[in-house]
Amino acid sequence: MGIYYFLCCKTCETAIDLGKKIAKKDGTLVMQGLFSEEGLKWLSGDLVWIAVQSFLQIHENHELIFVSDENLPEVHTYENTEADELLKGPNKGQH
Ligand SMILES: [Zn+2]
């Protein structure tokens, strides 16, 4: 259990799951990453940025929020965009 964080598009009711906040040794909070259903593991580093920028481009000019499921419980009814799809990059003209 715990509180999970999502980058959501409220326009499309779509979200990506960025996992929990994890405290590093120095106290800095970092996100868990992005879960890959294909790899059955949390992605981190450059792969997350590639996926996030794909999500941002697909949802350009839409209402994007970063939110926890504690503050937006209905995020669980949103369509969950797969990390593996995002890693293929946005299609031209997909807005
Ligand atoms: Zn959208």
Ligand 1 center to 90 CA (angstroms): 13
CB atoms within 10 A of CB 49: 11
Ligand 1 center to 91 CA (angstroms): 14
Q: How many domains does the chain have?
A: 1
Q: Is 41 a domain residue?
A: yes
Question: pLDDT tens for residues 58-88?
Answer: 999 999 999 999 999 999 999 988 898 999 8
d(Cα 8, Cα 12) in Å, to the nearest integer? 9
Domain of residue 47, residue span: 5-86
Q: Is 95 a domain residue?
A: no
Question: pLDDT tens for residues 2-53?
Answer: 899 999 999 999 999 999 999 999 999 999 999 888 888 999 899 999 999 9
Ligand 1 center to 11 CA (angstroms): 5
Q: What's the predicted TM-score (pTM) here?
A: 0.86
d(Cα 79, Cα 18) in Å, to the nearest integer? 14
